Structure 1
Amino acid sequence: MTQMKRRMILGLALATTAVLAACGGGDDGIDDRIGLSKPSVRVIHAVTGGPNVDVLQNGALTPIQNVPYKTVSGYNNVETGNQLFALNRAGTSTQLGQTTVDARTGHKYTIVAVPGLTAPELVQIDDPYGKGLLDTSARVRVFNASVNAQNIDVYLTQQATDINTVQPNMGSVAYKSAVPASTQDSQYVDGGTYRLRITTAGTKTVIFDSGALTINKNDDWLITTIPVDGIGAVVPNRIKVLVAQSSTSNATAQELVTTQAAQ
């Protein structure tokens, strides 16, 4: 980026400060929208029945300590380059998993502790955050952490929409994968009332139905499917959903259970 172009972008950003301040907060800052923010990392504990955990960065204990299931840490700035993150059982040196983040300017990273077949596993999502300066849309991404539902289609529609008449918003989401994929920007939707339905991939067989959901303008949702039964879940398609929203401080993810009678 040339110096002149950088000055023009920064000038436009300053001119829209009041608009952005009115539209949203948290980590949706001007520096995020123009791609100049420091890389930042958050951690989500999505292991049902899993132990409380401590988060380490490059071998050093971070302030994210003794956090339970459903915790969504705030985004924390890190230096560019490789950053090694590990999760330990709280108060011990017993490591549950680790992953290396290749941290880049303008990117946000989410590390998700997911329930595997025998133990927790760590998966990371790289979000390049391509939202426009004046865009008030909500951002949405789906992550499949359900070892017992390894390929799913996701429909995020108006409440009355017949899914037999539409294609999935996010199709063929494989286990431990995200759609849009890691390194791609999230999907954008208008604020309003929606209904989240999840089917086995390639079918219209609903295995999860949220009922009415409100997604506000400028929301930033990571929708994570997880097994109801946690680590080692074997009952096919018995899932629930965690919704993690962008936050500047530790928060609890919203847990959704299906309205389907079969569940």
Structure 2
Amino acid sequence: MRSLTTKLGLLVLGLALTGCGSSSNVPVGRLRVVHTSPNAPLVDVLVDNNRELASVPYKASSPYLALLSGTRNIKVNAAGTTSSVINANVPIETGKDTTVLAVGRLAGIEPLVLSDNNTAPAAGNVKLRLVHSAPGAGNVDIYVTVPDAVLSVVPPTLTNIPFKGVSPYLSVPAGNYRVRITPAGTKTVAIDSGTLSLAAGQIRTAVAVGDPSVDQALTAIVLADN
């Protein structure tokens, strides 16, 4: 089986070559898929019943895939099978980016569809979005601080965020940051990103994942949106 990277590279290359010919005005949008279900197996991702991603592991993210605009049927199957754990119709808009996260434990897995805003941040700034995709955590507070900030003396950046909650994009000056996530109303750190070095112009999405009840530690993954 070809690797995920190879498969994606061939798909994007083929679409790019098509765009250079007579079909350059074909309307396309972009789709990214992220596997955040802590006890789901490797999965395949099908777009309109064509397998585009194979054997995607937990915490993995695809690059953006260029797709024809319109409503696309997205299926997430247990790898190598026709058994769909997610079957959803997702609108793909011309010139816009969409992220679909597979969220929740396997028994209740579902798609979380995000509309991405990858327009450039203000000069000298970065854009940071935060997503709660950790079914093993309840409502949480999120702190976005300089790396050495003492949590006990700073207020949370976002409060009482539920599972599947998504923040607006935060526009902050480029520099070093640290994202810490606590159970809502406490200062007990459940997830610590460590130092994130963010350069001017970058857009990033930090996703809280994990569920200790199925032996997957609470942690964060950071997606490069541009």
* Distance in structure 2 (CA, Å) of the matches to 1:146 and 1:204: 18
With over 3 angstroms needed to count, the CA separation of the structure-2 counterparts of 1:231 and 1:178, relative to structure 1, is: farther
With over 3 angstroms needed to count, the CA separation of the structure-2 counterparts of 1:193 and 1:174, relative to structure 1, is: same
**How much has 1:147 moved relative to structure 2?**
1.5
Q: How does 1:52-131 map to 2 (within 5 A)?
A: 52-58=42-48, 60-116=49-105, 118-131=107-120
Correspondence for 2:220 among 241, 246, 250 = 241
Correspondence for 2:166 among 174, 178, 184 = 178
TM-score by length of 2: 0.76
* Distance in structure 2 (CA, Å) of the matches to 1:197 and 1:44: 21
With over 3 angstroms needed to count, the CA separation of the structure-2 counterparts of 1:73 and 1:117, relative to structure 1, is: closer
Correspondence for 2:150 among 126, 146, 162 = 162
2:171 is the alignment partner of 1:146: no
Q: How does 1:221-260 map to 2 (within 5 A)?
A: 221-229=204-212, 239-246=218-225
**How much has 1:128 moved relative to structure 2?**
3.3
With over 3 angstroms needed to count, the CA separation of the structure-2 counterparts of 1:196 and 1:188, relative to structure 1, is: same
Specify the alignment match of 1:255 in structure 2: none
With over 3 angstroms needed to count, the CA separation of the structure-2 counterparts of 1:149 and 1:49, relative to structure 1, is: closer
Correspondence for 1:220 among 172, 194, 203 = 203
For 1:180-235, what per-residue CA distance to the aligned partner results, in whole angstroms no more than 9, with x for missing partners? Answer: 2xxxxx222222221211111233332222332222233322211112437597xx
Query: Residue 71 of structure 2 aligns to a residue in which SS?
Result: strand
* Distance in structure 2 (CA, Å) of the matches to 1:115 and 1:130: 29
Quick one: which amino acid aligns to residue 153 of structure 1?
Answer: D
Partners of 1:154 and 1:168 within 8 A in 2: yes
Specify the alignment match of 1:48 in structure 2: 38
With over 3 angstroms needed to count, the CA separation of the structure-2 counterparts of 1:92 and 1:39, relative to structure 1, is: same
Unmatched 5+ residue regions in structure 1?
1-36, 181-185, 248-263
**How much has 1:80 moved relative to structure 2?**
2.7
2:182 is the alignment partner of 1:193: no
With over 3 angstroms needed to count, the CA separation of the structure-2 counterparts of 1:117 and 1:45, relative to structure 1, is: closer
- Post-superposition, which runs of at least 4 consecutive aligned residues in structure 1 deviate over 6 A? none
Partners of 1:97 and 1:121 within 8 A in 2: yes
The structure in which a higher percent of residues are strand is 2
* Distance in structure 1 (CA, Å) of the matches to 2:178 and 2:54: 35
Query: Residue 37 of structure 2 aligns to a residue in which SS?
Result: coil
* Distance in structure 2 (CA, Å) of the matches to 1:51 and 1:151: 26
Partners of 2:120 and 2:201 within 8 A in 1: no
Identity %: 28
Question: Greater relative contact order: 1 or 2 (C-alpha under 8 angstroms, separation 6 or more)?
Answer: 1
* Distance in structure 2 (CA, Å) of the matches to 1:39 and 1:103: 6
**How much has 1:117 moved relative to structure 2?**
6.4
* Distance in structure 1 (CA, Å) of the matches to 2:173 and 2:213: 33
Q: How many aligned residue pairs are there? A: 200
